Chain A
């Protein structure tokens, strides 16, 4: 068994609300410096930067799970992790094509930047607004995600744009886990019947990359092992270590 230092909720320069310094270079700097070796990339409603971040960052011994943070029509944020990059891109396209706000002002709401293979700014996405909601309900997003080899995990469930914050109580969906932030939330989530958890930083700024949020005890850093670790509660939050 191995122990990996992880963060499974991270934004890149593509997310309009993320800092424009969240480039692959900054990821490498921070993650290497702080010994974080397994992360997920989860931009808002798009997977366009997944491939390039995976290519560049994985050269430094850091393993990346391609993911996305979808906003449902109820404004609930849901993390989805994919077995491979192709599936994440396919799913990401569907979400991007079904967003509710097309025109937006990047001066006010932030730039959406795609990175090229050299790690440089390549293109600014002017439409759609990736910070908007998709047209899908949480049930529909759940159903669509099941067409892929994926894990579906509502993000920060007790906070703004969280499953419980927005809906009051859990819908009848068999999520793979829920993301929570501290021991108090863990107890609250268990009371609601949730049994599996992940613990993310939801990093939008480089400073949020300077520590792992959980350790995972498993054989290797594969999608299957992550799935198994979540199921067997081998994802241990930092505050329990």
Chain B
């Protein structure tokens, strides 16, 4: 599914617009960065409460295309600056992490 369609159907808020026309085929949930680095798949959307700027480097290494922060939490200034060097999109959800993952899973037909 194209990222833009996913954002529209879930009413996610765009905190930073990267490449919205990229294809999303997988999802991942996790806050421990080394675990995300070893387990997450390419072309994923990643749900995390971790807001430190290192999430951008991890997403780049893995090939994650979008990061969703749940519960209306905020990305840090550093993270919002760092992401500008990439095509990654930063999104926020007013749902809990559990519900966000649930609807994304359903919408992607996984």
B-contacting residues of A (Cβ < 8 Å)?
71, 74-75, 100-101, 105, 108-109, 131-133, 160
Contacts and interface: CB of A to CB of B under 8 A. Distances in A.
B82 to A, nearest CB: 14
A75 B37 contact: no
A132 B37 contact: yes
B57 interface: yes
A132 B39 CA distance: 13
Given A100-B38, A109-B57, A132-B34, 19 more contacts: A71-B34, A74-B32, A75-B32, A75-B33, A75-B34, A100-B34, A101-B37, A101-B38, A105-B61, A108-B57, A109-B61, A131-B34, A132-B37, A132-B38, A133-B32, A133-B34, A133-B35, A160-B52, A160-B54
Contacts of B61: 105, 108-109
Q: Is the interface of A mostly helix, strand, loop or mixed?
A: loop
B49 to A, nearest CB: 12
Closest 4 pairs (CB-CB, A-B)? A133-B34, A132-B34, A160-B52, A75-B32
Contacts of A108: 57, 60-61
A75 B32 CA distance: 7
Given A160-B52, A160-B54, A101 B60 contact: no
Contacts of B37: 101, 132
Contacts of A105: 61
Interface of B is mostly: helix
The CB with the most chain A CB atoms within 10 A, among B35, B57, B60, is that of: B35
12 contacts: A75-B34, A100-B34, A100-B35, A101-B37, A108-B57, A108-B60, A108-B61, A109-B57, A131-B34, A132-B37, A133-B32, A160-B52
Nearest to A132: B34
Nearest to A166: B32
Contacts of A101: 34, 37-38
Nearest to A74: B32
A160 B37 CA distance: 17
Interface string B65-86: 0000000000000000000000
Nearest to A160: B52
A100 B35 CA distance: 8
A190 B4 CA distance: 49
A132 B54 CA distance: 13
